[in-house]
Amino acid sequence: MSKKPGKSLKSPELQLGRAVPWPKTPEEAQIDGVPNPQAGTDYLVRFAVPEFTSICPVTGQPDFAHLVIDYVPAKWLLESKSLKLYVASFRNHGAFHEDCTVSIGKRLTAEIKPKWLRIGAYWFPRGGIPIDVFWQTGKLPKGMWVPDQGVAPYRGRG
């Protein structure tokens, strides 16, 4: 078993295990990566964010999504508290569905540098139309098993 890491990728201190203020914007949110104790093994990590919210940049109304983030780590693992704080910073952030989804994928990729990452954002209807947005980067390692994201397409009352 590995030791508890005390540092993140860029910050001198992890947010884990201490009180930290909620970030006001996605840009000011700190993403923490911790060393991967199984860096020589390819495996999949999944985060589900079933209650993601952001703000419509036109109407100011809230938008809701179920996010599924899958990645194959390299040297770093994404620390879950920092992810929670990061996604919560979108609650008062005005952006279209596509921008939120792709921005999250790109930011996580830039911070933890996974071998492969994909994000599926299953947005609840806006104006009567559900919008699903998908983004990925990297090359999936050969032989990796990637399960279905498990979010059914929007069917309304059907």
Q: Is 63 a catalytic residue?
A: yes
- What is the spatial distance between Cα 27 and Cα 128, in angstroms, rounded to a whole number? 30
Q: Taking the model in full, what pTM does it have?
A: 0.90
94: in domain:
yes
Task: Provide the number of structural domains found in the chain.
Answer: 1
What's 88's domain CATH number? 3.30.1130.10
Judge whether residue 5 has pLDDT over 60.
no
pLDDT at residue 158, rounded to an integer? 58
* pLDDT tens by residue, 11-50: 568 999 999 999 999 999 999 999 999 999 999 999 999 9
Phi/psi for 136 (5° steps) reads: -150, 160
Q: From the candidates 32, 42, 56, 132, give the one annotated as an active-site residue.
A: 56
Instruction: Give the start-end residues of each E strand in the chain.
Output: 33-35, 45-55, 62-72, 76-78, 116-123, 132-138
6: in domain:
no
Phi/psi for 128 (5° steps) reads: 85, 0
Contact 76, 8 (CB under 8 A): no
83: in domain:
yes
143: in domain:
no
Q: What percent of the chain has pLDDT over 90?
A: 84
In the predicted model, what is the mean pLDDT of the chain? 92
Residue from 98, 97, 78 nearest 8 by CA: 78
Q: From the candidates 32, 63, 70, 100, give the one annotated as an active-site residue.
A: 63
117: in domain:
yes
Tell me the one-letter amino acid at 145.
W
Judge whether residue 108 has pLDDT over 60.
yes
**What residue numbers bound the domain in which 92 lies?**
34-138
* pLDDT tens by residue, 44-75: 999 999 999 999 999 999 999 999 999 999 99
18: in domain:
no
Q: Is 100 a catalytic residue?
A: no
Quick one: tokens of 118?
A: 């994909």
